[in-house]
Homo-oligomer: A and B are copies of this chain.
Amino acid sequence: MTCFLLTGAAGFIGSTLTDRLLADGHQVIGIDNFSTGRQEFLTNALKNPAFTFVEGDLLNRDQLLKAMQLMPVDFVYHLAANADVRCGTENPRKDLEQNTIATFNVLDTMREVGVKNIAFSSTGSIYGEPDVVPTPENAPFPIQTSLYGASKLAGEGLIQAFAEGFGFSTWIFRFVSVLGERYTHGHIYDFCRRLQSNPTRLEVLGDGNQTKSYMYVQDCIDAMLLATAKTSNPVNIFNLGVDGTIQVRDSISVIINRMGVKPELVYGESTRGWIGDSPLIHLNCDKIREIGWVPRLTIPQGIIRTLDWLLNNQWVLKP
């Protein structure tokens, strides 16, 4: 039995990982400030005596220290983040605080307490608009195009420096967008909500040709657990995504077919949905596949799974 501490434990990926680790017989300490996490996602976990929840903010070192000292922690999954890549320019300080400074606080508290293993949810956005597509982990030194990407890059750098400076073992996962049960923000969420309120017309940011890659949340968790079990360098970096890509206009087709609606589709003219949006995120995931990971769902299957969950959980769609 291992004791895991999860930041962002009430979030989409965090709560799903919490349930998985508890099912596997581990001890889990969860910390979340409910900025985007949902109490409802922890309903089952809270019934399990192996789960301890701390409501706390990573910008508050005392709360973090208290959580990490509840019992001897073996491994930290640092999943808490401001994940809204689109709003960076509205409040640039948010990414700095919630992602960069929060990550520093997690690392520095680990150092203080003596915890040395950490996995981190980074992002494919870190590659900006890459020259090499599909983009491998050792692509040319990227140029950041969003405050979100910049804040995750900063987090990666800090983790690597702690690995070198303090003997940490670290796993950095660069995700494509993740879909599935408990998905509460992003393209599919927005389209679903807007089509429910107006099934006759859908306005789309950008020209619809942006190419995206999505991964099913359980596949994502499989990959993280496999990588942490099978690799043990001071710094282990993995792209996580499926092989294919999908254009925004094709995602929309899957959604309107599943919802049985026939809206007028109104596209913008820009090749980007928003400032810093990459028209093409397609990661080379050979490295994680080489250690044996096989995703269960294709992108359209993941979209349908997500959509069905949203439609069956209307409370999530309420503002």
A residues sitting closer than 8 Å to B (CB atoms) are: 88-89, 92-93, 96, 100-101, 104, 107-108, 111, 128, 137-147, 149-151, 153-154, 156-158, 160-162, 164-166, 235, 237, 275-276
Residues on B with beta carbons closer than 8 Å to the beta carbon of A141: 137-142
Known contacts A104-B96, A111-B92; decide if A158 and B165 are in contact (CB<8 Å): no
- Cα A143 to Cα B139 with chains together (Å): 12
Residues on B with beta carbons closer than 8 Å to the beta carbon of A144: 156-158, 160-161, 164
Nearest CB to that of A155 among chain B residues?
A: B154
Given contacts A144-B164, A154-B158, 16 further A-B contacts (CB under 8 A): A88-B161, A88-B165, A93-B108, A96-B101, A96-B158, A141-B141, A141-B142, A143-B160, A144-B157, A144-B158, A144-B160, A144-B161, A145-B161, A146-B161, A147-B165, A150-B160
Copies in the complex: 2
- A14 CB to nearest chain B CB (Å): 24
Known contacts A101-B96, A137-B141, A141-B139; decide if A275 and B146 are in contact (CB<8 Å): no
Nearest CB to that of A157 among chain B residues?
A: B150
> When the two chains form their complex, are residues B160 and A145 in contact, meaning their CB atoms are under 8 A apart?
yes
Residues on B with beta carbons closer than 8 Å to the beta carbon of A143: 160, 235, 237
A-B complex: 4 closest residue pairs judged by Cβ atoms = A154-B154, A150-B157, A144-B160, A150-B161
Residues on B with beta carbons closer than 8 Å to the beta carbon of A150: 154, 157-158, 160-161
- Cα A316 to Cα B164 with chains together (Å): 33
> When the two chains form their complex, are residues B160 and A157 in contact, meaning their CB atoms are under 8 A apart?
no
> When the two chains form their complex, are residues A93 and B88 in contact, meaning their CB atoms are under 8 A apart?
no
> When the two chains form their complex, are residues B93 and A104 in contact, meaning their CB atoms are under 8 A apart?
yes
Residues on B with beta carbons closer than 8 Å to the beta carbon of A92: 104, 107-108, 111, 161-162, 165
- Cα A309 to Cα B206 with chains together (Å): 59
Nearest CB to that of A150 among chain B residues?
A: B157
- Cα A92 to Cα B93 with chains together (Å): 21
- Cα A141 to Cα B100 with chains together (Å): 19
> When the two chains form their complex, are residues B235 and A89 in contact, meaning their CB atoms are under 8 A apart?
no
Nearest CB to that of A234 among chain B residues?
A: B143
> When the two chains form their complex, are residues B153 and A157 in contact, meaning their CB atoms are under 8 A apart?
yes
- A156 CB to nearest chain B CB (Å): 8
Nearest CB to that of A131 among chain B residues?
A: B138
Residues on B with beta carbons closer than 8 Å to the beta carbon of A111: 92
Residue of B128, B158, B237 near A147 (CB, 8 A) is B158
Nearest CB to that of A142 among chain B residues?
A: B141
- A60 CB to nearest chain B CB (Å): 15
Interface centre among A108, A150, A160 (most CB of B within 10 A): A150
Nearest CB to that of A92 among chain B residues?
A: B108
- A124 CB to nearest chain B CB (Å): 12
- Cα A128 to Cα B160 with chains together (Å): 10
Residues on B with beta carbons closer than 8 Å to the beta carbon of A165: 88-89, 92, 146-147, 275-276
Nearest CB to that of A233 among chain B residues?
A: B143
- A213 CB to nearest chain B CB (Å): 18
